[in-house]
Amino acid sequence: MRALRLTAPTVLELCEIPVPEPGPGEVLLQVGGAGLCHSDLHVREIPIAVFPLPLTLGHEVAGTVDGRPVLVHLVWGCGRCRSCVAGRDNVCTALGRQVAPASPGLGPQGGMAEYAAVPVSSLVDIEGLDPVAAAPLADAALTPYHAIAGELGRLRAGSTAVVIGVGGLGHMGVQILRAITPARVVAVDLDERKRATALEVGAHEALASDESTAARVLDLTAGQGADAVFDFTGVQATLDLAAACVAPGGALRVVGLGGGTLSYPASGDATALPWGVSVTRAYGGTRQDLSEVVALARSGAIAVHVEAVPLDEGVAAFERLHRGDVDGRLVLVP
């Protein structure tokens, strides 16, 4: 079969390899589509081998098992630890305190291929959805959903949510906020085209990202700031913006892995976070979150903006994402 693999650090190639043999607890998935995420770019760019190579990339994977359409949960928890048993599989502790649970394409072999061997316990039924359109739900919708669902208590009538970064995850974050909360949604992005997308998918306001953005959020919220800020970028400038526009008692959810650092002085001076702010750094979402995401997609409340690209053009697709020349999500189709 064909597979898009990292064969050495920074070397991405389309390879011809044997169809994988499912191990214990696994099934053979015929891949329908695999979404291309910023994390894949990040993995390609790491100059050392952090995962065993060669590695087939792809952690947003959908397809069919024996003809049934299924979506692969991004988090392959152990299923046995205290967190997994409690349904918090995205904080599975099996691999250690500082290590995220295993995910396809980020350790185990991923889904940018014709076939993938996947744990049967990772599958969620997507009957009625197109696997190409559904594949990015596995991360681009699951991860924002987990972050937003965790703040429903703050996102009540009259509240304001800020979405920073309207890329693959952010454009889903806006839709999920509109689908499951009554909050006013303020989107922020550098790119005018992405601000237009934000408004199309339901944002009430779309602000350019510059020195005045925090002040504009404060203006929109009577000087108090946003009840929840979702940073889908995670670079220094966006984390600084998030801290500068969150309300007292609000939530700051750091979702993007852009390499910035969030720090604040413990004392109550002008540069500190407002009192009562809660900061959460979560990995992916739970399998229950994924099934709720699928329900939203089935109802038509959310949809990924998808552009299908043949798997054979996968290397070029990585270059496009690297240039920022993508609106929504590219999905590689074998």
Q: Please identify, among the stretches 5-13, 93-101, 182-190, 198-206, the one whose residues bind Zn ion according to the rule CB under 5 A.
A: 93-101
Q: Which of 92, 186, 207, 252 binds Zn ion (CB under 5 A)?
A: 92
Nearer to Zn ion, 41 or 179 (CB): 41
Residues in the chain: 334
Q: Is 256 in the site for Zn ion (CB under 5 A)?
A: no
Is 139 near Zn ion (CB under 5 A)? yes
For position 81 contacting Zn ion by CB under 5 A, the verdict is yes
Applying CB under 5 A, among 94, 179, 218, 279 the residue interacting with Zn ion is 94
Does residue number 247 form part of the binding site for Zn ion (CB under 5 A)?
no
Q: Does 103 interact with Zn ion (rule: CB under 5 A)? A: no
Instruction: Report the nearest approach of Zn ion to the CB of residue 263 (Å).
Output: 25
Among 12, 31, 37, 277, binds Zn ion (CB under 5 A): 37
Using the minimum distance from each CB to Zn ion, give the nearer residue, 68 or 80: 80
Q: What minimum distance in Å lies between the beta carbon of 49 and Zn ion?
A: 20
Peptide bond into 54 cis (omega under 30): yes
Choose the stretch contacting Zn ion; rule: CB under 5 A; options: 21-29, 135-143, 196-204, 308-316: 135-143
Residue 39 touches Zn ion, criterion: CB under 5 A: yes
Q: Is 234 in the site for Zn ion (CB under 5 A)?
A: no
Residue 41 in the binding site for Zn ion (CB under 5 A): no
Structure tokens at 146: 């987990």
Torsion sign (Cα): 156, 196, 135, 282: negative
Task: Report which residue type is found at 132.
Answer: V
Tell me if 164 sits within 8 A of 217, measured CB to CB.
Answer: no
Residue 40 or residue 151: which is nearer to Zn ion going by CB? 40
Dig out the tokens for 311 from the structure: 């798997």
Q: Residue 168 Cβ, how far from Zn ion at the closest point, in Å?
A: 8
Q: Does 218 bind Zn ion (CB under 5 A)?
A: no
Distances (CA, A) of 153 to 163, 227, 280, 334: 17, 10, 15, 42
28 binds Zn ion, rule: CB under 5 A = no
Beta bridge partners of 205: 186
**CA atoms of 179 and 192, how far apart (whole Å):** 24
- How far CA 214 is from CA of 164, 166, 217, 226, 273, in Å, comes to 11, 17, 5, 10, 13
Least separation in angstroms between residue 117's CB and Zn ion is 20
Query: How many CB atoms lie under 10 A from the CB of residue 12?
Result: 20
Per the rule left: phi > 0, alpha: psi between -120 and 50, beta: everything else, 139 is: alpha
Picking from 231, 227, 217, 284, the residue whose alpha carbon sits closest to that of residue 259 is 231
189 touches Zn ion (CB under 5 A) = no
- Per rule CB under 5 A, is residue 142 in the interface with Zn ion? no
For residue 86, what are the contacts with CB-CB under 8 A and spacing of at least 6? none
Q: How many CB atoms lie within 10 A of CB 25?
A: 12
Closer to Zn ion by CB, 139 or 189: give it.
139
Residue 137 or 245 having the CB closest to Zn ion: 137
- The distance of closest approach from Cβ of residue 75 to Zn ion in the complex, given in angstroms and rounded to an integer, is 9
End-to-end CA distance of the chain: 9
Q: Is 122 in the site for Zn ion (CB under 5 A)?
A: no
Residues of the shown chain interacting with Zn ion in the complex, contacts defined by CB under 5 A: 37, 39, 77-78, 81, 84, 92, 94, 139
